[in-house]
Chain A
Amino acid sequence: MAIAAIQILNTMASLALISLGLAIIFGMMKVMNFAHGELLMLGAYSAQFANASGINIWVAMFVVAPLVVGTIGVMIERLVIRHLYGRMMDTLLATWGLSLFITGAVTMTFGNITRGISTPLGSFEIGGIRDSSYKFLIIGVTIALFAAIYLVLKHTKAGLIARATMDNPRQVAAMGVNPGAVYTATFAIGAAVTGLAGAIMAPLTGVLPTMGAAYIGKAFITVICGGDAIFAGTASAAVLFGVINQATTIMLTPEFGEVALLLGALLMLRLLPAGLSSLFPKRAI
């Protein structure tokens, strides 16, 4: 029973973790980043490469990966996204072109082979059933990240500025803040969070150039069903879809789990086109 609880928490946490970066960028900037899967992948590769080069696995995951992907995020925002503000469809297309480009670049650099990172932390045992202790890490990191993002957005000056810029860039500019810098920083943070997520998930899935494709379906569903509220929406969507996914996977197969996610999403959007966020008070984060 406890194992089952941990497994379901793990599913929910994984979903929330891989979706948070996308939710930040979509919720704050209304940009649907189709290169999201590739940012996850780059995070995984950064961690794997750093670790293989001798850097401690934890530093590789928690420092190297976010830094690298965050920096790449800055480049993407400056070179591509910036020129397409207000053009949502074009931004989607351009980020999608980027996703192909990045996949190709990584394939050329690292080859189309799967690399591995061994799962640190070993295993634990409850009531005679063993499971990976790594799941605790995922759950813990997800909670910590969500808490951090929530606190920053709600209780810091930077978070206030970010939210104000998303609401009314001109007003904010008149107050002396550079909206462009806010956008770049927001995208970079979203990217960094995604890089971290990719690095953390890497030991479970293996690292290869096309690994992004395995995740993005779930991440997109979680984010669009979550709606505008970054924290509340994503968290509640992750909980809901975590349950659906886990239940269906146990009863049938993981692939049916994904089908169930999609069907659930379609039904939910028919009832709540603005996502789960519409169930929360208007100004929820």
Chain B
Amino acid sequence: MANPAFALQAAAVVIAAILIVVLPKFLEFDTILQISLNFAFAILALSVAFVWGYAGIFSFGQAAFFGIGGYAYAAAAINLGDSTVAIALGVLAPAAFAVVLGYFVFYARLSSIYVAVITLVVTLILYKFMGQTAKPSYMVGKAMLGGYNGIPAIPPINMPGRPDLYAGPNEIFVIAGLSALAVYVALRLLLRSRLGRILVGMRENELRIELLGFDARFYKLVAFVIAAAIAGLGGVMYANWNAFIDPHVFSLAFSAQPIIWTMIGGLGTLIGPIIGAFVLSTLSLELGTQQTIDINLIMGLVFTVFVLLVPQGIVPTVRKFWSDRADARTAPTGKEAKRHG
């Protein structure tokens, strides 16, 4: 570990944490809400960044896990009156779902195309299924699932054991922001660890990772479950953001978002998709309000062009640009090494 770089990164994290805690005092209410939402989306983006960019598993279902997390939190919070267990359920429910789905998908050694299709189908089915839960018989304890109308008045996060001390918009901002930061740091550390290296190796060459003795099916499952838990946490923040959740999180349009953020922000990095989430979700909100051009048309066009021209996304392309220039500067040494190697 290069110590100066590490110290720099640690410092950046601390500064970010401080900023997150302090900012709400200086921002307008609307901005606070907007950024809180972006924090929730950033967590979702990180789950895609991890499972796709680092573990090499293309899953359309991250938004579904996001939604399951949000719904699980909502149902639990309404029933229990205290948010602590609800948050845990918001993370564990999607993870449990991922264990089962992942087992069937990865232990069947299905190709990545089939994995993509199945995760998409799961999302579509969840959308239809949750949409038709409007009848009063669809209740989880005291919580009505509400069909396409969703679940309103979701209790916000409270101090553990003190339901009377609950979070307002400023507190949600800080909680969501620090959660996003925590996920980012945790992923950075994970990727440095033995598990992280194995996952990256698996992405690079699945056969070789097996030839080295690692069971790729197992590691894919692990990555899938971790990503589902992360997405679930994002869902919990989302449910808190507006005290509301509805099946639109399972819609095709929403499922597309984290994929687009990651693709355009930078597949293969952690910070790229976060930037993508912030910039693109804000943009699509602005564009969504104007009536001239349909938002899907623009998103679809930009995305398709990106796939055709810049498959790596913006951040890695820029990174590669700079590292290529750095290589060019040290070229003579490189050539000598090849002659001797």
Contacts and interface: CB of A to CB of B under 8 A. Distances in A.
- Do A and B interact directly, with beta carbons closer than 8 Å? yes
A104 B297 contact: yes
B117 A220 contact: yes
A270 B107 contact: yes
Given A104-B296, A108-B297, A97 B109 contact: no
Contact of B308 (A83, A216, A256, A258): A83
The prevalent SS among residues of A at the interface is: helix
Nearest to B123: A217
A6 B301 CA distance: 43
Interface string A214-230: 00110011001000000
A3 interface: no
Interface stretch (B63-71, B125-133, B271-279): B125-133
Contacts of A265: 118, 121
Contact of B300 (A104, A262, A270): A104
A89 interface: yes
A108 B295 CA distance: 10
Interface string B115-152: 01110111011011101100000000000000000000
A81 to B, nearest CB: 10
Interface in A258-277: 258-259, 262, 265-267, 269-270, 273
A204 to B, nearest CB: 17
B299 interface: yes
A90 B259 CA distance: 13
Nearest to B263: A93
A213 to B, nearest CB: 5
B185 interface: no
Contacts of A105: 294, 297
Nearest to A216: B124
Interface in B9-67: 58
Nearest to B296: A104
Nearest to B122: A262
Contacts of A101: 296-297, 300-301, 304
A247 interface: no
Looking at A84, A98, A104, A256, the one whose CB has the most chain B CB atoms below 10 A away is A104
B110 A273 contact: yes
Contacts of A262: 118, 121-122, 125
B311 interface: yes
A107 B300 CA distance: 13
A90 B311 contact: yes
Looking at A97, A107, A262, the one whose CB has the most chain B CB atoms below 10 A away is A97
Contact of B296 (A89, A100, A221, A269): A100
B124 A217 contact: yes
A270 B106 CA distance: 9
B104 A213 contact: no
State which size class the interface on A falls in: 35 or more
A38 B299 CA distance: 16
B307 A93 contact: yes
Given A220-B121, A273-B109, A266 B295 contact: no
Contact of A259 (B104, B125, B306): B125
A273 B108 CA distance: 6
B104 A258 contact: no
A282 to B, nearest CB: 19
A101 B306 CA distance: 13
A94 B311 CA distance: 10
Contacts of A267: 104
Interface in A85-107: 88-90, 92-94, 96-105, 107
Looking at B58, B118, B293, B298, the one whose CB has the most chain A CB atoms below 10 A away is B118
A26 to B, nearest CB: 9
A266 B118 CA distance: 8
Looking at B117, B297, B302, the one whose CB has the most chain A CB atoms below 10 A away is B117
Interface string A24-51: 0000000010100000000000000000
Contact of B117 (A80, A210, A224): A224
Nearest to A214: B128
Given A101-B301, A269-B108, 12 more contacts: A80-B304, A84-B307, A88-B113, A89-B58, A94-B308, A100-B296, A103-B296, A107-B297, A255-B125, A255-B131, A256-B129, A265-B118
Interface of A: 32, 34, 80, 83-84, 88-90, 92-94, 96-105, 107-108, 210, 213, 216-217, 220-221, 224, 253, 255-256, 258-259, 262, 265-267, 269-270, 273
- Ranked nearest first, the 9 interchain pairs of A and B with the lowest CB-CB distance are A104-B297, A100-B300, A101-B300, A104-B296, A97-B304, A97-B303, A104-B294, A266-B104, A217-B124
8 contacts: A90-B307, A96-B259, A100-B303, A103-B296, A103-B300, A213-B252, A220-B117, A266-B105
